[in-house]
């Protein structure tokens, strides 16, 4: 089999014109009809929520019509499709997005206005669909937007979590977690597909049988059967032509019970320790970049991978019957990190045990079907599952994994004869005290392509993480730099800037982001600078109002809005930002005339509930904020805001108002970053390290239009191998020492002097693993340069314009084009 037979990629297939013709009056009627007939209420009684539901229902009529046409077209053309397997899809809100992608936003706005409803205000009724933690989940959401926009046959597969990422509240400065219930009052976008239910097996044992010819056959007798119920979310491409689906599986207990196991004895007791079926899709694990190592998490991974594979196979068989020879021509499966990697042995099981293909034929199909994206080098995020746990939950899969490894080890031995060190390193099984299955190694061995998510990251995947794999399989490891959808992250979230850009250079940028470069010609034009900065000012005013509403804090829209929004992690170094804030505070106290442009530091971040130091950093930001904001000696020049419950819909309000984008991870640690792209696209200037996609952003905007500081990847490695000692920096920089010591006094936490001592400890005795102290001085210098640059209004405006102008590369349309041409080999399919 080969997946290259359809290698020709016909252009980009992007939609070019509006397909839905609906005027204001049609729209009004559709909303009212749904208010009456779907919601059973009327204009006089309807509250905001009812209007939102009726409007969503009106949109959904259009969405379903295009969904049906798309599915019919794909079916009739028997197209090769990509299946994007991801444990997370961080969709955010869908109504405004769907309106924008159908190019009906303005129509809807005018229609609703005549009904006495403010659309923008009404959109706030929609809860975020927060089925993801951060960058990885949001990337999946941007990718399916681009896939639909460019009319590629694609389906997203994931989990229908009952509770998405927790809602964050801040009480007395500390994070507390509240359950997220995004479906409490019904979700208008999802449609249940009971006709496509799947059942999957768990637990039990494997029986070895021999047929008359002495051939071995393995039979898995499961201990329990779980039902997967699919919910489809339509994904509307820009232009409204192709509507793909995101299919999310909900677990349900099944009627069916396997009595073989009951007879095996001891069953009821053993069963009690097993995960209950309904629990599987209950909640998203909130640990970003750290594996939970929990049985339930492994079951979640298997559950959605196995349901999705069965779904794909059912669809394939409908056309091709038992002829497996074309499977890999029709199906490509992208593994979003290793979370769905258990799909590899699952497909082998189906092909070998069920379809009775030979191992070699099955393995050929398998390794032509899967491709794997790596999103991190952090050791704590590289998934490993105890052999014992896999053996309990998926006994047959464990056997298959061992067989894959056995054959792979022979391959390794052929390449490096007798080299046990390399074998131990590459083995899918880690021979530690507690034996582990390395999901990364399994994914590399079982895939035809492996990619990192930014140039530097992919280079490090090759040189640090998988160097021997790179030798063994030349060309398999590659790069696809991440991207973001400009529909959500510019057109929808920043309507004034979008309108200004379109007025200046036309609207082609929405589907061809490189067009933004046409703005470069106006970067020094005073009139355009004024228009551009006026939009920024209006967006800052709107955010200032939001800040007041959410926190009571009053900020000056003329101040620099300096924003750091991302999950809370030591490697992302929110505490480096905080130390610099403390340094500014101290300078202002020591010298009331200290010359700086007023600046508001704004944070948004959730910490994993079990990540104690991350929670301490949130607490530290909040207590420092409280002190500074209420200190009349400094609060004209300095304010600190922590906005609670950072999420997609809040990001959409913050990003358009940012002057400065903080991207300050330790070099080598942030695989790519995508918030960096969103902020720069909206005209924020980055202060950042040479890490992840920052490097490529710097290449695009040029060194004059970004503030780069800190150690490079090579310098980080040199510093660490030279025996890094944070005390050297602590004792040699008076300001640094003073700010760190300040945190450990009772100045910020009256009556509780050591409330923040774990933070100080991690930076000193703890060895400062993320080199905060090493980068502090250079960070301060970059901040100084930034402050000076801001005072030159024209210079800053030019920088901001050029940032927007040079972001073309970072559209997710380009990422998807890279995947399609270099990995997936898909043809686009125009839906009429």
Give catalytic residues, as residue numbers. 375, 566-567, 572, 674, 678
Among 128, 190, 311, 337, binds ligand GPW (CB under 6 A): 337
Which own/partner pairs from 21-25 qualify as long-range (CB within 8 Å, at least 24 positions apart)?
22/62, 22/104, 22/107, 23/107, 24/107, 24/110, 24/111, 24/114, 25/111
> What is the closest distance, in whole angstroms, from the C-beta atom of residue 486 to ligand GPW in the complex?
17
- Of residues 674 through 693, those in contact with ligand GPW by CB under 6 A are 674, 692
The count of chain residues that interact with ligand GPW, using the rule CB under 6 A, is 19
> What is the closest distance, in whole angstroms, from the C-beta atom of residue 692 to ligand GPW in the complex?
5
Residues pairing with 807 in the sheet: none
Is 768 an interacting residue with respect to ligand GPW (CB under 6 A)? no
> From residue 108, how far is each of 17, 43, 103, 120, 624 by CA, in Å?
18, 16, 10, 10, 44
Rounded CA-CA distance 803/784 in Å is 20
793-805 and 526-551 are packed helices; what angle lies between their axes, rounded to 10 degrees? 90
Q: Based on CB atoms, which residue is closest to ligand GPW, 227 or 376?
A: 376
Among 129, 159, 381, 763, binds ligand GPW (CB under 6 A): 381
Alpha-carbon dihedral angle through residues 743, 745, 750, 751, given to the nearest 10 degrees: 130
Q: Based on CB atoms, which residue is closest to ligand GPW, 102 or 161?
A: 161
Rounded CA-CA distance 548/806 in Å is 33
Among 126, 232, 288, 329, binds ligand GPW (CB under 6 A): 288
Residues in Cβ contact with 765 at an 8 Å cutoff, skipping those fewer than 6 apart:
none
Q: Based on CB atoms, which residue is closest to ligand GPW, 643 or 677?
A: 677
Among 308, 616, 663, 672, binds ligand GPW (CB under 6 A): 672
Residues in Cβ contact with 169 at an 8 Å cutoff, skipping those fewer than 6 apart:
175, 176, 177, 178, 644, 645
In degrees, rounded to 5, the angle at the alpha carbon of residue 688 between the alpha carbons of residues 683 and 691 is: 115
> What is the closest distance, in whole angstroms, from the C-beta atom of residue 484 to ligand GPW in the complex?
10
- Of residues 682 through 741, those in contact with ligand GPW by CB under 6 A are 692
Q: Following DSSP, what letter does each residue of 649-695 receive, concatenated?
A: HHHHHHGGG-SEEEE-PPTTT-S--SHHHHHHHTTPEEEE-S-TTHH
Is 375 an interacting residue with respect to ligand GPW (CB under 6 A)? yes
Q: Which stretch binds ligand GPW (CB under 6 A): 412-420, 621-629, 669-677, 780-788?
A: 669-677
Q: Based on CB atoms, which residue is closest to ligand GPW, 663 or 783?
A: 663
Chain centroid to CA 417: 41
Among 477, 501, 560, 671, binds ligand GPW (CB under 6 A): 671
Rounded CA-CA distance 175/9 in Å is 49
> What is the closest distance, in whole angstroms, from the C-beta atom of residue 480 to ligand GPW in the complex?
10
Is 158 an interacting residue with respect to ligand GPW (CB under 6 A)? no
Rounded CA-CA distance 823/329 in Å is 13
> What is the closest distance, in whole angstroms, from the C-beta atom of residue 136 to ligand GPW in the complex?
3
Residues in Cβ contact with 456 at an 8 Å cutoff, skipping those fewer than 6 apart:
668, 690, 691, 692, 695, 713
Q: Following DSSP, what letter does each residue of 463-490 receive, concatenated?
A: IIISHHHHHHSTTTEEE----B-HIIII
- Of residues 451 through 480, those in contact with ligand GPW by CB under 6 A are 453
612-629 and 574-590 are packed helices; what angle lies between their axes, rounded to 10 degrees? 30
Is 162 an interacting residue with respect to ligand GPW (CB under 6 A)? no
Cα dihedral sign, 713-714-717-723: negative
- Of residues 81 through 120, those in contact with ligand GPW by CB under 6 A are none
H-helix segments, 245-294: 259-263, 267-272
> What is the closest distance, in whole angstroms, from the C-beta atom of residue 811 to ligand GPW in the complex?
15
Rounded CA-CA distance 617/623 in Å is 10
> What is the closest distance, in whole angstroms, from the C-beta atom of residue 673 to ligand GPW in the complex?
5
Is 376 an interacting residue with respect to ligand GPW (CB under 6 A)? yes
Q: Based on CB atoms, which residue is closest to ligand GPW, 312 or 576?
A: 576
Q: Based on CB atoms, which residue is closest to ligand GPW, 3 or 376?
A: 376
> What is the closest distance, in whole angstroms, from the C-beta atom of residue 133 to ligand GPW in the complex?
6
Among 103, 659, 670, 813, binds ligand GPW (CB under 6 A): 670
Q: Based on CB atoms, which residue is closest to ligand GPW, 234 or 692?
A: 692
Contact call for residues 639 and 563 (beta carbons, < 8 A)? no
> What is the closest distance, in whole angstroms, from the C-beta atom of residue 421 to ligand GPW in the complex?
27
Q: Based on CB atoms, which residue is closest to ligand GPW, 264 or 378?
A: 378
Residues in Cβ contact with 142 at an 8 Å cutoff, skipping those fewer than 6 apart:
483, 484, 485, 488, 489, 674, 812
Rounded CA-CA distance 181/441 in Å is 36
> What is the closest distance, in whole angstroms, from the C-beta atom of residue 479 to ligand GPW in the complex?
12
Is 482 an interacting residue with respect to ligand GPW (CB under 6 A)? yes
Residues in Cβ contact with 586 at an 8 Å cutoff, skipping those fewer than 6 apart:
735, 738, 739, 742
Of 680, 648, 653, nearest to 805 by C-alpha is: 680
- Of residues 116 through 155, those in contact with ligand GPW by CB under 6 A are 133-136, 139
Q: Based on CB atoms, which residue is closest to ligand GPW, 133 or 828?
A: 133
Is 289 an interacting residue with respect to ligand GPW (CB under 6 A)? yes
> What is the closest distance, in whole angstroms, from the C-beta atom of residue 96 to ligand GPW in the complex?
23
Rounded CA-CA distance 376/671 in Å is 5
Q: Based on CB atoms, which residue is closest to ligand GPW, 164 or 692?
A: 692
> What is the closest distance, in whole angstroms, from the C-beta atom of residue 820 to ligand GPW in the complex?
18
Q: Based on CB atoms, which residue is closest to ligand GPW, 142 or 344?
A: 142
Q: Which stretch binds ligand GPW (CB under 6 A): 26-34, 264-272, 665-673, 816-824?
A: 665-673
Q: Based on CB atoms, which residue is closest to ligand GPW, 133 or 529?
A: 133
571: helix, coil or strand?
coil
Is 164 an interacting residue with respect to ligand GPW (CB under 6 A)? no
285: helix, coil or strand?
coil
Of 488, 481, 451, nearest to 144 by C-alpha is: 488
Is 673 an interacting residue with respect to ligand GPW (CB under 6 A)? yes
Would you report the helix, strand and coil content of the chain in percent, each value rounded to 5?
50, 15, 35
Which DSSP state fits 154? E
In residues, how long is the chain?
A: 832
Rounded CA-CA distance 290/613 in Å is 14
Contacts with ligand GPW, residue ranges (CB under 6 A): 133-136, 139, 288-289, 337, 375-376, 381, 453, 482, 670-674, 692
């Amino acid at each position: 089999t080969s997946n290259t037979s359809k290698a020709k990629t016909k252009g980009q297939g992007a939609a070019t014109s509006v397909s839905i013709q609906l005027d204001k009056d049609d729209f009004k009627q559709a909303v009212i009809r749904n208010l009456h007939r779907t919601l059973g209420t009327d204009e006089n009684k309807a509250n905001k929520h009812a209007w939102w539901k009726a409007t969503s229902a009106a949109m959904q009529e259009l969405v379903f019509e295009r969904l049906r046409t798309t599915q019919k077209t794909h079916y009739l053309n028997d197209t090769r499709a990509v299946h994007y397997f991801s444990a997370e899809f961080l969709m955010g809100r869908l109504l405004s997005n769907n309106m924008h992608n159908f190019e009906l936003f303005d129509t809807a706005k005018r229609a609703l206005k005549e009904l006495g409803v403010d659309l923008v205000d009404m959109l706030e009724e929609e809860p975020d669909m927060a089925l993801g933690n951060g960058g990885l989940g949001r990337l999946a959401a941007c990718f399916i937007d681009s896939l639909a926009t460019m009319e590629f046959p694609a389906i997203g597969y994931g989990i229908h979590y009952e509770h998405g990422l927790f809602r964050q509240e801040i009480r007395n400065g500390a994070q507390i977690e509240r359950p997220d219930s995004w479906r409490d009052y019904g979700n208008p976008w999802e449609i249940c597909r009971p006709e496509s239910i799947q059942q999957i097996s768990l637990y039990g044992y494997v029986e070895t049988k021999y047929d008359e010819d002495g051939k071995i056959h393995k039979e898995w007798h499961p201990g329990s059967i779980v039902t997967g119920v699919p919910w489809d979310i339509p994904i509307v491409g820009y232009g409204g032509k192709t509507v793909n689906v995101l299919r999310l599986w909900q677990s349900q207990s099944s009627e069916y019970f396997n009595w073989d196991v009951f007879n095996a004895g001891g069953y009821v007791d053993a069963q009690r320790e097993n995960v209950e079926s309904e629990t599987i899709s209950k909640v998203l694990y909130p640990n970003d970049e750290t594996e939970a190592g929990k049985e339930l998490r492994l079951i979640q991974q298997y559950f959605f991978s196995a349901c999705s594979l069965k779904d794909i196979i059912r669809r394939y068989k409908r056309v091709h019957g038992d002829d497996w020879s074309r499977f890999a021509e029709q199906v490509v499966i992208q593994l979003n990190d290793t979370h769905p990697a258990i799909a590899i042995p699952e497909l082998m099981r189906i092909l070998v045990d069920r379809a009775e293909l030979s191992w070699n034929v099955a393995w050929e199909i398998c390794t032509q079907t899967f491709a794997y994206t790596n999103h991190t080098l952090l050791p704590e995020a590289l998934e490993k599952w105890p052999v014992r746990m896999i053996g309990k939950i998926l006994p047959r899969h464990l056997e298959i994994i061992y067989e894959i490894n056995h054959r792979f080890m022979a391959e390794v031995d052929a390449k490096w004869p007798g080299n046990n060190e390399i074998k131990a390193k590459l083995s899918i099984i880690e021979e530690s005290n507690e034996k582990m299955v390395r999901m990364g190694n399994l994914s590399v061995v079982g895939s035809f392509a492996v990619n990192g998510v930014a140039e530097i990251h992919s280079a490090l995947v090759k040189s640090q993480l998988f160097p021997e794999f790179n030798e063994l399989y030349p060309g398999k490891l590659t790069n696809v730099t991440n991207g973001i959808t400009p529909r959500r992250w510019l057109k929808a979230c920043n309507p004034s800037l979008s309108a200004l850009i379109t007025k200046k250079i036309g609207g082609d940028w929405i589907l061809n982001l490189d067009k933004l470069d046409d703005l470069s010609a106006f970067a020094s034009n005073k009139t355009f600078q004024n228009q551009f900065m006026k939009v920024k000012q209006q967006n800052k005013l709107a955010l200032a109002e939001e800040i007041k509403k959410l926190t009571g804090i009053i900020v000056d829209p003329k101040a620099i809005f300096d924003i750091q929004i991302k999950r809370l992690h030591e490697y992302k170094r929110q505490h480096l930002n905080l130390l610099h804030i403390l340094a500014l505070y101290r300078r202002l106290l020591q010298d009331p005339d200290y010359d700086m442009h007023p600046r508001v530091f704004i944070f948004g971040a959730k910490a994993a509930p079990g990540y104690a130091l991350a929670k301490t950093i949130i607490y530290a930001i909040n207590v420092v904020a409280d002190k500074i904001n209420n200190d009349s000696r400094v609060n004209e020049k300095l304010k600190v805001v922590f906005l609670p419950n950072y999420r997609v819909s809040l990001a959409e309000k913050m990003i358009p108002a940012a002057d400065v984008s903080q991207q300050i991870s330790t070099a080598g640690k942030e695989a790519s970053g995508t918030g960096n792209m969103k902020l720069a696209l909206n005209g924020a200037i980055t202060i950042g390290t040479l890490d992840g996609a920052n490097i490529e952003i710097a290449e695009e905007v040029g060194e004059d239009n970004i503030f780069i500081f800190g150690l490079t990847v090579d310098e980080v490695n040199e510093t660490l191998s030279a025996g890094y000692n944070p005390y050297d920096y602590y004792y040699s920089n008076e300001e640094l020492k003073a700010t760190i010591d300040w945190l450990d006094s009772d100045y910020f936490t009256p009556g509780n002097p050591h409330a923040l001592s774990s933070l100080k400890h991690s930076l000193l005795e703890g060895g400062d693993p993320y080199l905060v102290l090493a980068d502090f001085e250079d960070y301060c210098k970059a901040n100084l340069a930034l402050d000076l640059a801001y005072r030159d209004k024209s210079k800053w405006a030019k920088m901001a314009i050029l940032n927007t102008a040079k972001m073309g590369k970072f559209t997710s349309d380009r990422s998807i084009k890279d995947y399609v041409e270099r990995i997936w080999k898909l043809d686009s399919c125009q839906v009429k």
